[in-house]
Chain A
Amino acid sequence: MQTNQQHTFLKLWGIPVFLFVITIAGLLLAIIGTGIWHGLSWITLSIPVYFTVKHGKAFLSSHAVGEGDQKQKSSQKAKGRRQ
């Protein structure tokens, strides 16, 4: 039971907490110094952007599917009317 709860907590909040910590770390790294610190900061701050693109692109690709669905529905309706 305990581990199950832990599991659902991690599943829900694991990535959000990771991204939060990573972003704050990225923002702080660049203020420590230049050179290597800047580089580390850029890499770190790219991680949340990567996650967004990775998951967010489903939103864009779904446009065609969504509209297709609607077209299908309306053509079904049209068919229904014809019948």
Chain B
Amino acid sequence: MRAQTINRWFHIHKWTSLVCTLFLLMLCITGLPLVFYEEIDHFLHDEIEATPPTEGAPHLSADVVLRAAMEELPGKVAKYAFWDEDHHPGQLFLTLADSAEAPIEADHYLTMNQYTAHVLEAPPNEMDFMLVMYYLHVEMLAGIPGKLFLGFMGVLFMLSMISGVVLYGPIMKRFDFGMIRTEKSRRLRWLDLHNLLGIVTLAWASVVGISGVINTLADPALEAWRDGQLAEMVATYKDQPKASGEFASLQAALDTARAAAPEMEVSFVAFPGTLYSSNHHYAVYMVGNTPLTSRIIKPALIDAKTGQLTDMRDMPWYLKAIFISQPFHFGDYGGIPMKILWVVLDLFTIIVLISGLYLWFARRKARAAQLKRVLRQAESLTLSSLQEDAN
């Protein structure tokens, strides 16, 4: 590689890294506790369990459970209902807010017992440590603009990784893998560590980085879906006012969706007017029931007034891409050992970022010192030439 080419790549690496490093550091640090969100949440709050009143008792109708939740928080409307039979059997998670369009920061969460319709947990609607970490990580507490900004930082991070790999070649050409020069200068030792950790974490950081960038596009992607496929599916409702008043049975909507996709199971329901549904429908999101197909998501649109199935289609590729990329960002699909490996690789990445920053400072200092030397030399030369002139 020509020296000029290397120099050009060095500048790409320097500038893309400088711009994104502090944000990436924030993401890596806030990401650390988020990897163990479930476990920390369990640790901070008492473990709640929904035990059936009698052995083998059936779940109550979703309508009964929903009504009980609405009575707990009067004046609110339901936005979403979630189930997680694998980890939280017998529990129904509800999101309520002042309106279906309310921003997520104003949401209230209720955990309901599906056997008794009792409220298991109603955390206060305020930021706790983990939520602050979450919102910092996702949007720097700055809403959708913050999210898109972090996505852009992620793109710079990708560029900095690509340019870093290009520079790895000429730097390491004469050395063995993993060599750390300890006897030369402190700067070289840090450079070698930077190169070692950078090249080792490359694949992981690329996967987490790309999936993170994809995740930041969730809001515009949902908007595109609402304007495109969803609008098409509910075209006949176009001129009708938003569904209001008493809705049709939620339980019946669930049953209808299950009948329409018997090989799938219900993941969550988006209520009319929310980001994930139309103004007139329960969107019942069905997922496959094997580890591979559980990432395939298909919403069944059930008319919230009549309870009839309006349409059910595969989501467009860009939403599929977002759903499929999510586990690769969260690292939550391979048990606790994988989460530990996630944290270790995250810590390695933090060292890459800090060592990169250190190298930039050290290089600047070295160059400033060099410049000073040159200037002093020039100065003394001029002085001596002046003296000569005077003589």
Instruction: Identify the A interface with B (CB < 8 A).
Output: 8, 11-16, 19-21, 23-24, 27, 30-34, 38, 41-42, 45-46, 48-49, 51-52, 54-56, 58-59, 61-62, 65-66, 69
Contacts and interface: CB of A to CB of B under 8 A. Distances in A.
Contacts of A14: 177
Contact of B183 (A51, A61, A69): A69
A56 B193 contact: yes
Contacts of A59: 180, 182, 189, 192-193
Interface in B112-133: none
Looking at chain B's contact residues, the main secondary structure is helix
B334 interface: yes
The dominant DSSP class at the A interface is: helix
Contacts of A20: 202-203
Contacts of A58: 180, 182
Interface of B: 168-169, 172-173, 176-180, 182-183, 186, 189, 192-193, 196-197, 199-204, 207, 291-292, 327-328, 333-335, 337-338, 341, 344-345, 348
B338 A8 contact: no
Contact of B169 (A12, A30, A45, A69): A12
A60 B80 CA distance: 51
A23 B193 CA distance: 19
B176 A11 contact: yes
A24 B210 CA distance: 13
Contact of B334 (A41, A62, A65, A69): A41
Contacts of B348: 49, 52
Contacts of A56: 178, 180, 193, 196-197
Nearest to A24: B203
B341 A42 contact: yes
